[in-house]
């Protein structure tokens, strides 16, 4: 449904005409029924890609289409459910008024208006703020308003740009329910986010972008998903018997007392090593991957130096 | 859920019309009303409005006040028409909906123009009721021409740059100065500057049309047509560029 083919976007500075390559030859497909994430550090080109996809920006090279149409044509004809990173609307509007205005643009009839607006207000729990002006809203409530306006009329294409930015942990968790509710065989969902944990929980695939280039696409769900049995770095915590751990895992590094970062091993090797450590007197308190599979892929793709920070702001074109 | 086809018109009349009246037309209209009331009760005290002197004063006050409403209203009506939405990122919410950006702004532009013409008509009729017969219909024609000229160029500028309001003001003042120098007898203007002046806003043609109309003469279609053509071409170029250029700034 969504297709990006060798899409590039280059900006030129006004005076020096210096080229800034925001996106370079990115190709990506999102099929109906799929939830695909876009991860990348600040300024990686995520927001530029989304702007191209929504028809707000024209690519310098390559082709972007939605349902076979240029994005602008698709959006003008059928609309896209879109939650921007920061909900930008005139600050003097009131919450209820903003929802009604956008619902009119969304094509909601007068008969359906009250019910639809009440429904999304209840869903996003912003009823207490209904009469507030937008300038009075906190970042989190503003983001919930963004979610509310998008949920009035769910469309075939859904695009979230940093959807959990500014949300508290409760609403970050509820965002997963929103995505789960929107998931449908006829609907393509694209989520750009810094939050790798969220992407891993809700997406089928995650495209990792760095310096404008698509570095890799990671399957996090389904047949091709990263297997737990693959070699990974685990962190082992023990209450006692550190010497036994060191002996069972020769390459282990004790990052702090009782905490060992094991060398990259597959599951059978880890289990065998832990059994040996316990037999040697180690008292294990926990064993877990040091980083999620997606984090590992991300770090491998973009390097640890540019690892994302949850909640940080992305560069906007 | 039923989707309405007439969403653009509903948005226009329900939200953009009040927005225009409150945030754009309100100030010039309020200023004109206050000054008009002041003149009526002070300078007009003791004047017999139905007399020849009264008629002259009524027309003089009307054309001065309404001139301010027309020019200021046109400036405020078109300034930042697309700029605010684009510079502030509001367009992201509007144009992710099934809305054609060109239709959205073209309708808004037309609404501002028509409303300004009607406001001038209402103000003129109110003044006429209070005083004497004044050139209301003619003022409405001048408003329409001013809107097409300033509104057309203003729309194009708002599509092209964030500094549209300032540039429109400079273009307007510069055009008036250049045309007044050019039209002087034995004008010292260089030949090339004369040619450049021809390309600037046709403010002198608009003034000519206005003077004739207020003098009770028929509309000079040659000059009026030029003013309409100038503004219309700028507006159409603006619409085409709005369609083709990126919305993001």
pLDDT in tens, A89-136: 999 999 999 999 999 999 999 999 999 999 999 999 999 999 999 999
pLDDT band at A304 (very low <50, low <70, confident <90, very high): low
Please, are residues B99 and B240 in contact by the beta-carbon 8 Å criterion? no
Residue ranges in A6-130 assigned as alpha helix (H) = 46-53, 71-78, 95-105, 110-124
Interface size A-B, in CB pairs within 8 Å, comes to: 91
Q: Which residue of B has its CA nearest to A111?
A: B2
Cβ–Cβ under 8 Å, residues A81 and A178: no
Q: Please determine, for residue B3, whether its predicted confidence score (pLDDT) is greater than 70.
A: no
Q: Does B88 touch chain A (CB under 8 A)?
A: yes
Residue A225: Cβ within 10 Å count? 14
Distance CA A136, CA B54 (A): 53
* pLDDT value at residue A225: 59
Of A87, A88, A116, nearest to A100 by C-alpha is A116
- Average pLDDT, integer, range A277-287: 92
Asked if B90 and A87 come within 8 Å (Cβ–Cβ), the reply is no
Is A44 in contact with A213 (CB distance < 8 Å)?
no
pLDDT of residue B184: 79
Other CB atoms within 10 Å distance of the CB of residue A188? 23
pLDDT tens-digit readout, A23-35? 999 999 999 999 9
> Is 70 exceeded by the pLDDT of residue B94?
yes
Which segment of A110-124, B165-179, B181-195, B230-244 scores lowest on mean pLDDT?
B181-195
**Cβ neighbour number for residue B210 with a 10 Å cutoff:** 20
Alpha helices by DSSP H, listed for chain B, are 7-11, 17-19, 26-41, 52-78, 83-87, 91-94, 101-130, 136-146, 152-160, 164-182, 191-199, 203-214, 221-244
pLDDT digits (tens, 9 = 90+) for A189-232: 999 998 888 898 899 999 999 988 999 898 887 655 555 555 67
Residues recorded for chain A:
317
Which pLDDT band, with edges at 50, 70 and 90, does A300 fall under? confident
Q: What is the mean pLDDT of residues B188-195?
A: 80
Model ipTM? 0.86
pLDDT above 70 covers a percentage of chain A that reads 92
Q: Which residues of B touch A80 (CB under 8 A)?
A: 96
Cβ of B221 under 8 Å from any chain A Cβ?
no
Smallest CA–CA separation between A59 and chain B, in Å? Answer: 9
> What pLDDT shows up at residue B4?
43
| Nearest-neighbour CA in chain A from B135: distance (Å) | 39
Interface test with chain A among B7, B10, B93, by most A beta carbons within 10 Å: B93
Q: List the single residue in B with minimal CA-CA distance to A78.
A: B98
Q: Select from B162, B141, B149 the least CA-distant residue to B211.
A: B141
Contacts of A78 in chain B (CB under 8 A): 98
- Contact (Cβ atoms closer than 8 angstroms) between residue A269 and residue A154: no
In the block, residue with structure tokens 């076979």: A68
The confidence score (pLDDT) of residue A312 equals 37
Q: Does B90 touch chain A (CB under 8 A)?
A: yes
Look at residues A277, A283, A281 and name the one whose alpha carbon lies nearest to residue A262: A277
Q: A157-161 and A188-193 as β-strands: parallel, antiparallel, unpaired?
A: parallel
Of A58, A80, A90, the CB nearest to B96: A80
Bigger pLDDT: B224 vs A224: B224
Closest residue in A to B101 (Cα–Cα): A76
Reduced to 3 states (helix: H, G, I; strand: E, B; else coil), residue A218 is strand
- Contact state of B101 with A76 under an 8 Å Cβ cutoff: yes
Which of A87, A89, A106 minimises the CB distance to B97?
A106
Question: How many C-beta atoms lie closer than 10 Å to residue A98's C-beta?
Answer: 21
Q: Given CB atoms, is B99 within the 8 Å cutoff of chain A? A: yes
**Looking at the whole model, is its pTM more than 0.90?**
no
CB proximity list for B30: less than 8 A, separation 6 or greater: none
Q: What count of other Cβ atoms lies within 10 Å of the Cβ of residue A255?
A: 11
């Amino acid at each position: 449904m969504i297709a990006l083919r060798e899409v590039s976007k280059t900006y030129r500075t006004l005076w020096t005409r210096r080229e800034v390559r925001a996106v370079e030859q990115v190709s990506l497909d999102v099929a109906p029924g799929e939830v695909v994430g876009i991860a990348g550090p600040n300024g990686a080109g995520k927001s530029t890609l989304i702007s191209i996809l929504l028809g707000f920006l024209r690519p310098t090279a390559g082709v972007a289409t939605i349902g076979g149409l240029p994005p602008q044509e698709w959006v003008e004809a059928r609309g896209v459910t879109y939650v921007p990173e920061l909900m930008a609307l005139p600050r003097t509007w009131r919450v209820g008024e903003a929802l009604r205005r956008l619902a009119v643009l969304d094509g909601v009839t007068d008969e359906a208006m009250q019910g639809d607006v009440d429904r999304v207000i209840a869903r996003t729990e912003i009823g207490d703020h209904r009469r507030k002006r937008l300038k009075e809203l906190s970042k989190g409530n503003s983001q919930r308003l963004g979610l509310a306006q998008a949920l009035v009329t769910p469309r075939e294409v859904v695009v979230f740009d940093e959807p959990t930015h500014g949300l508290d942990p409760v609403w970050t968790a509820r965002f997963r329910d929103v995505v789960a509710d929107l998931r449908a065989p006829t609907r393509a969902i694209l989520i750009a986010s810094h939050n790798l944990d969220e992407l891993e929980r809700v997406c089928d695939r995650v495209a990792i972008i760095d310096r404008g280039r698509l570095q890799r696409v990671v399957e996090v769900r389904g047949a091709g998903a990263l297997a737990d049995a693959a070699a990974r770095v685990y962190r082992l915590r023990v209450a006692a018997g550190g010497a036994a751990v060191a002996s069972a895992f020769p390459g282990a590094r004790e990052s702090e007392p009782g905490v060992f970062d094991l060398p990259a091993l597959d599951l059978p090797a880890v289990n065998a090593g832990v059994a040996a450590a316990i037999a040697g007197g180690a008292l294990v308190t926990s064993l877990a991957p040091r980083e999620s599979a997606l984090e590992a892929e991300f770090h491998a793709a973009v390097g640890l130096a540019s690892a994302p920070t949850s909640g940080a702001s992305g560069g906007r074109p | 859920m039923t989707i309405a086809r007439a969403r653009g018109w509903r948005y226009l009349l329900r939200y953009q019309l009040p927005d225009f009246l409150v945030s754009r037309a309100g100030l010039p209209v309020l200023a004109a009303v206050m000054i008009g009331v002041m003149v009526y009760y002070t300078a007009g005290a003791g004047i017999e409005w139905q007399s020849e002197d009264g008629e002259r004063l009524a027309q003089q006050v009307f054309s001065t006040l309404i001139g301010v409403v027309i020019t200021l209203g046109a400036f405020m009506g078109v300034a930042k028409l697309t700029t605010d939405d684009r510079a502030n990122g509001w367009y992201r919410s509007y144009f992710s909906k099934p809305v054609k950006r060109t239709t959205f702004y073209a309708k808004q532009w037309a609404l501002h123009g028509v409303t300004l013409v009607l406001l001038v008509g209402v103000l003129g009729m109110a003044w006429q009721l209070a005083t004497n017969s004044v050139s209301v219909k003619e003022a409405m024609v001048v408003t329409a021409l001013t809107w097409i000229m300033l509104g057309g160029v203003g729309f194009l500028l708002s599509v092209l740059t964030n500094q549209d309001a300032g540039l429109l003001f400079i273009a307007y003042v510069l055009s008036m100065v250049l045309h007044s120098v050019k039209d002087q007898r034995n004008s010292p203007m260089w030949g090339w500057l004369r040619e450049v002046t021809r390309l600037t806003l046709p403010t002198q043609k608009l003034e000519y049309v206005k003077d004739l109309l207020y003098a009770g003469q028929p509309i000079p279609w040659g000059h009026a047509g030029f003013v309409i053509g100038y503004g219309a071409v700028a507006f159409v170029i603006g619409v085409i560029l709005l369609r083709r250029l990126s919305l993001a700034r």
